[in-house]
């Protein structure tokens, strides 16, 4: 059995572990050991379905010290007018370059792939999946849990319903492996994976009538137009100012969601169906039009069993149709695990801090660890914010995220770091001074942020589930 020592042991080299490590070593001379059971860095992207892309712009993804992609706005195609969104292959290649060309040559980072971490009786260890050799690790400073929010993805999840012999059910990854046209497609799931599957089928020429969409719960969605950084930042700030205004003026929860929809900050798939979930999924208006062309939507709750002739759901059953392919898109994606303090004795648990921006959150955590002394201050700068699930979770999520923004603005060092951080969606605000859209958005934002926080605190009363650690 081998033994090594390090300042930090980072368990998981996915997006979170990589962004944290990059930011930590940029601001300190700490030594880091990264352990991952996968062969290389990049986490879940190694098992992603082939047509997946980032849901947000590449300009805001990866690590702080290296650009991902070109940061040139797409001029044509389905993403025209927006910053490019990398494919899974591009993301995995990017992380490998970050590791090979930056982290390892820094002399501060050692990477052990194909290795399972486990807690040892009196410390930590990892075991190679190739040799079986176990190495113990003495950690001088902290263990960093970069797998707490490891998403549940289609390739590795087990369908939560029974499948009878003769039923044709495939994970979304296998859509590209079809060798002959099925009689139709039934897409199972309400989330971003199901949205991606429907858009891919439509984009590949499958007529909307050939798609049946089993959508147990309708989601609130974000509009991609308001998620763009750099040159398009004024629109993003306009979006923030509009949802803060909606929050400040809301009379109750129903009125809040009515206002958020009216100002374009939440959108629904079906004008006739009230959304009940919110999981940060993003679409463009063009994609929305395509998705609405699928009219055969089944709302009978979750699928419980698929047979050759019948699909059983929580609230009824429908014919399965022989020759139909059922596309399982029911993996949960983002994990809604309970928020816990990011910094605790000997441990850092990477979590979402700014709403729907896990990678920026991990980088901020790395910088804060490197530059601040006590855990109370660190947790104030990095308050954990649970991923949302139910629609009402928008309220505590936004409230905690806005409180954190105020903490950052009043800390000159954090503010300065944020203005250097490419992962920070609001980086480069100063470049837009004098832009009328930016100026009016900022005026609306400053007027509404404090009233919005206090109204959201009122509206939060009685909400279970997602809740920020305070
Ligand atoms: C389809 C999709 C699109 C997304 N698009 C965006 C986007 O556009 N913008 C954005 O900001 N976020 C996006 N996200 C979210 C973001 O990419 C990350 O998925 C999120 O932060 C989770 O990454 P992670 O590093 O926490 O988890 P992972 O990528 O799963 O990494 C965790 C790693 O830990 C390793 N591990 C776990 N347990 C052990 C163990 N015991 N021993 C060794 N290794 C272990 C795993 O092998 C894994 O590699 C998207 C997510 C999905 C699923």
User: How much distance in Å is there from the Cα of 186 to the middle of ligand 1?
Assistant: 27
What is residue 156's predicted lDDT score, i.e. its pLDDT?
A: 74
What is residue 331's predicted lDDT score, i.e. its pLDDT?
A: 82
What is residue 467's predicted lDDT score, i.e. its pLDDT?
A: 47
Pocket, ligand 1, Cβ cutoff 6 A: 11-17, 35-38, 43-44, 52, 54-56, 61, 116-117, 146-147, 149-151, 153, 333, 357-359
What is residue 464's predicted lDDT score, i.e. its pLDDT?
A: 60
> Which residue's alpha carbon is at the smallest distance from atom 17 of ligand 1?
15
Q: Which residue has the tokens 């798609």?
A: 211
> Which residue's alpha carbon is at the smallest distance from atom 29 of ligand 1?
43
| CA atoms of 419 and 439, how far apart (whole Å) | 18
> Which residue's alpha carbon is at the smallest distance from atom 44 of ligand 1?
36
Which atom from ligand 1 is nearest to the alpha carbon of 350?
26
Beta bridge partners of 171: 328
Query: In a structure prediction context, what are the per-residue pLDDT tens digits for the chain, which is 470 residues long?
Result: 799 999 999 999 999 999 999 999 999 999 999 999 999 999 999 999 999 999 999 999 999 999 999 999 999 988 999 999 999 999 999 999 999 999 999 999 999 999 999 998 889 999 999 999 999 999 999 999 999 988 777 777 888 899 999 999 999 999 999 999 999 999 999 999 999 999 999 999 999 999 999 999 999 999 999 999 999 999 999 999 999 999 999 999 999 999 999 999 999 999 999 999 999 999 999 999 999 999 999 999 999 999 999 999 999 999 987 789 999 998 876 778 899 999 999 999 999 999 999 999 999 999 999 999 999 999 999 999 999 999 999 999 999 999 999 999 999 999 999 999 999 999 999 999 999 999 999 999 999 999 999 999 999 987 764 444 43
Contact 29, 108 (CB under 8 A): yes
What is residue 84's predicted lDDT score, i.e. its pLDDT?
A: 97
Pocket test for ligand 1, best of 53, 55, 157 (most atoms within 8 A of CB): 55
Report CA dihedral (349, 355, 357, 360) to the nearest 10 degrees: -70
Strand-by-strand arrangement of the 310-313 sheet: 162-163, 303-306, 310-313, 316-319
The CA–CA distances, whole Å, from 423 to 228, 360, 403 equal 12, 5, 19
pTM score of the predicted model: 0.96
The CA–CA distances, whole Å, from 445 to 148, 172, 246, 430 equal 33, 41, 11, 16
Beta bridge partners of 34: 10, 111
User: How much distance in Å is there from the Cα of 44 to the middle of ligand 1?
Assistant: 5
- Could you tell me the two tokens for 52? 């997946």
What is residue 468's predicted lDDT score, i.e. its pLDDT?
A: 44
Contact 327, 178 (CB under 8 A): no
| CA atoms of 169 and 39, how far apart (whole Å) | 29
């Amino acid at each position: 059995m081998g033994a090594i020592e390090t300042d930090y042991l980072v368990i998981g080299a996915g997006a979170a572990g990589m962004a944290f490590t990059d930011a930590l070593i940029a601001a300190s001379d700490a030594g880091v050991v990264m352990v991952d059971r996968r062969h290389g860095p990049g986490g879940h992207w190694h098992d992603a379905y082939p047509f997946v892309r980032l849901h947000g712009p590449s300009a805001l993804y990866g690590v702080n010290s290296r650009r991902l992609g070109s940061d040139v706005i797409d001029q044509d195609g389905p993403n025209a007018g927006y910053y490019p969104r990398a494919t899974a292959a591009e993301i995995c290649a990017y992380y490998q370059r970050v590791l090979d060309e930056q982290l390892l040559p820094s002399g501060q980072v050692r990477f052990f792939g194909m290795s399972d971490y486990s807690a040892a009786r009196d410390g930590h260890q990892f075991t190679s999946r190739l040799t079986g050799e176990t190495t113990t690790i003495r950690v001088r400073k902290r263990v960093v849990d970069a797998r707490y929010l490891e998403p549940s993805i289609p390739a590795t999840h087990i369908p939560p319903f029974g499948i009878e012999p003769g039923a044709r059910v495939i994970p979304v990854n296998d859509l590209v492996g079809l060798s002959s046209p099925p009689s139709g497609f039934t897409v199972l799931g309400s989330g971003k994976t199901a949205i991606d599957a429907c858009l891919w089928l439509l984009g590949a020429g499958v007529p909307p009538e050939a798609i049946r969409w089993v959508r147990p719960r309708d989601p609130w969605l974000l509009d991609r137009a308001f998620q763009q950084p750099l040159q398009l930042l004024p629109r993003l700030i306009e979006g923030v100012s509009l949802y803060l205004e909606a929050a400040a003026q809301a009379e109750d929860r129903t009125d809040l969601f009515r206002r958020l929809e009216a100002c374009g900050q939440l959108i629904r798939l079906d004008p006739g169906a009230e959304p009940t979930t919110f999981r940060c999924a993003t679409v463009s208006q063009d994609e929305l039009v395509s998705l609405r062309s699928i009219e055969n939507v089944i709302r009978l709750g979750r699928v419980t069993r698929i047979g050759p002739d019948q699909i059983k759901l929580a609230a009824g059953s429908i014919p399965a149709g022989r020759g139909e392919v059922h596309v399982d898109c029911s993996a949960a994606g983002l994990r809604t695990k309970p928020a816990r303090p990011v910094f605790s004795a000997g441990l850092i648990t990477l979590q979402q801090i700014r709403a729907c921006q896990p990678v920026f959150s991990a980088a901020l955590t790395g910088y804060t660890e490197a530059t601040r002394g006590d855990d109370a201050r660190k947790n104030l700068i990095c308050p954990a914010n649970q991923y949302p699930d139910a629609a009402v979770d928008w309220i505590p999520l936004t409230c905690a995220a806005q409180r954190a923004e105020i903490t950052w603005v009043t800390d000159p060092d954090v503010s300065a770091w944020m203005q250097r951080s490419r992962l920070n969606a609001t980086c480069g605000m100063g470049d837009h001074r004098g832009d009328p859209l930016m100026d009016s958005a900022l005026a609306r934002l400053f007027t509404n942020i404090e009233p919005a926080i206090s109204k959201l605190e009122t509206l939060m009363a009685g909400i279970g589930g997602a809740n920020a650690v305070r």
